[in-house]
Each structure stands twice: as structure tokens, then as C-alpha cells.
Structure 1
Amino acid sequence: MSGKLVCMVMRINMDCNACCRKMRRVLLNMKEIETHLIEKPQCRVSVCGRFRPSDVAIKIRKKMNRRVEILEIQELDSNNGHGE
């Protein structure tokens, strides 16, 4: 699992600034997430890191107490130094 870099886009209803701050705090406390992007007007959150998308979505759903809809999952191979 350590070789796969996963980028996932989710839709989460964030109607106020407090929701965005709470989402940012939740994402920063998750060690498996390397980068994140919160788009409040579109109610979208993008995260990248080495994780299982379903596990992260379940964690966010429990901590935010909101429905999480996974829109897109991209898996990238990051095999540094192998072959070439």
C-alpha cells in the first residue's frame, strides 16, 4: 500500500465557515493525508496521500457527522528509482 498515491475528491455539505474550519482541523489531524484542498463554494474537498479511500471517507463522515459523497478517485504509481 505504501507505493500507491491516491487522490480523492469528495462532496460534503459545508454551509458555514465553522464547518470549513472543522473540516480543515480533521484533515490536518489525519496522518495518512499529505495534501488537501477545501473548495467551500462547490462543497468539495480534495485529498491526496497514501490511504484507502473508503477508510478516509468513513473517518471524515464520523468526525464531521455529515454525509460524504466520493466523486472521483485517482490512483498514481509513485515507484521512485525503479527501472529507469
Structure 2
Amino acid sequence: MTEKFCCMVMRINMDCNGCFRKVRRALLSMRELETHLIEEKQCRVSVCGKFKPQDVAIKIRKKTNRRVEILDVQEYFNPKNEII
């Protein structure tokens, strides 16, 4: 099964600037992500790209040693039901 283009919102506990930098470094090292948005005050991270949501959450968990909770996943298709 190929990866679908999707956007995912996660909750990651970021207590300090060090935690924020760990999360940012982990996201930048992942090639499958096209864009990301880190909301430090709300402890939320949004990512978009072609990936399997569970795999990305597991990778971030391993790289940052922080708990990752998936809040929302949206998959996008074109009208012919082909992957974008």
C-alpha cells in the first residue's frame, strides 16, 4: 500500500525550549514531510505530506523521547480517487 497525502495534528508535551528544539529537529530530519507547523503554547504539531500517520508518530516518539498523541488525521484524494 502506498502512502497517501494527508495532514495530521498531534499533541506533544513541550515544556521548555529544549523540548521545542528536539521536536523541530526531528521534524526537519524526516524526508516524507512536506510542511510542518509547531504551536509551542498549545503543544500541538501539524504535519502534511505523503506518509503513514502511525509511522510518523512512532518516529517522532523515538527521536524526541516524548509522548505523542494523534488528535486528527485528514487524507486528501483527487476526484478520480487517485492519490495526489
Which range, TM-score by smaller chain? 0.7 to 0.9
Instruction: Write the distance in 1 (CA, Å) between the matches of 2:61 and 2:5.
Output: 22
Q: Report the identity percentage.
A: 70
Residue aligned with 2:66, SS = coil
Instruction: Sort the Cα spacing of 1:23 and 1:77 in 2 relative to 1 into closer, same or farther, 3 A.
Output: same
- Aligned mates of 1:62, 1:32 — CA distance in 2: 16
Residues 29-48 of structure 1 aligned to structure 2 (within 5 Å): 29-48=29-48
Gapped regions of structure 2 (runs ≥ 5): none
TM-score for both structures, normalised by structure 1: 0.87
Q: Is the 8 A contact 1:7 1:73 kept in 2?
A: yes
Shift of 1:49: 0.5
**3-state SS of paired residue (2:76):** strand
Please report the TM-score for the alignment, with normalisation by the length of structure 2: 0.87
| 1:17–1:58 distance in 2 versus 1, CA, 3 Å | same
How do 1:14-25 residues align onto structure 2 when only pairs under 5 Å count? Answer: 14-25=14-25
| Aligned-CA RMSD value | 1.5
What are the ranges of 5 or more consecutive residues in structure 1 without an aligned counterpart? none
User: Which residue matches 2:9?
Assistant: 9
